[in-house]
Amino acid sequence: MSKQRADSQRKNDKSEKLQKILANAGLGSRREIEKWIADGRVSVNGSIVQLGERATDKDTIRVDGRVIKIMPSEEVYTRVIAYHKPLGEVSTQKDPEGRPTVFDKLPRTSFGRWISIGRLDINTTGLLLFTNNGELAHRLMHPSYQVERKYAVRIHGEVTDEMLKNLKDGVLIDGDMCQFNYIQPGGGEGANQWYEVGLSEGKNREVRKLWQSQEVDVSRLIRIEYGPVELPKSLSRGRWMDLNEEQIKKVADLVQLEVKPRKAQPKPSSSKRKNIWKKG
């Protein structure tokens, strides 16, 4: 760090650690950004920086040579939106095959970028959360915080008590022990039965793989909750809505993170959602 910048920072009590500034800008988690700094990818006012250095919104911060727009700390807020993912959308920002993505219909952010809190595969519908706070997204997805996800799942095939016991006790899948926290019957007819299940890690296609381990097929899968957030009943497929200040604080408290929620909320674009337990 140059002596001039160090003197400037000592005079400016609004300076913050770089990893916090860049996480607030929605670039990633603090842990990810610390690695970028250690790898020499971050510069301030033209100089490559080291871990522990600080900056302000007046400094020119670059990552991989690209200037990052930094908001004054008093203007930084956390925004979280709930999105009702329909069938056929992929959970990536861009798709090489040109398929629609879950990011296509999201609103613009005033700063940073939208980060998806977990993913849903192309054949799964339901609740997806997005935030502009990289640290919040990281913690909500990290296995150490054990944030529960709940799903409505329709099974095609006979389900026995022994199968349900196996799924709750644990099944070895791809070298990892996987299990549901709970399983509740949700009705249905004949070979098509609905269940509500919960798990706390959300590995890739884990719900489907667990049921497939018992030699039954998943014909429909809907995420209905992520942590304390339920899929809003008023939110139709392909629509989004903002979480309010109380909801955002509840989500952040779950992973022991202090945030400043966005206060002004736009009106949601939504319509009444059909019953997720619909037969057929």
Active-site position among 59, 121, 169, 174: 121
Q: How far apart are CA 82 and CA 76, in angstroms?
A: 20
Judge whether 104 counts as a catalytic residue. no
Q: Is there a contact between 53 and 1 (Cβ–Cβ < 8 Å)? A: yes
Q: How far apart are CA 149 and CA 40, in angstroms?
A: 37
Q: How far apart are CA 202 and CA 168, in angstroms?
A: 15
Burial classification of residue 213, based on how many CB atoms lie within 10 Å of its CB (0-12 exposed, 13-18 middle, 19 or more buried): middle
Give the Cα-Cα-Cα angle 141, 147, 152 (nearest 5 degrees). 100
Q: How far apart are CA 227 and CA 254, in angstroms?
A: 8
DSSP type of residue 225: E
Which residues are identified as catalytic?
121
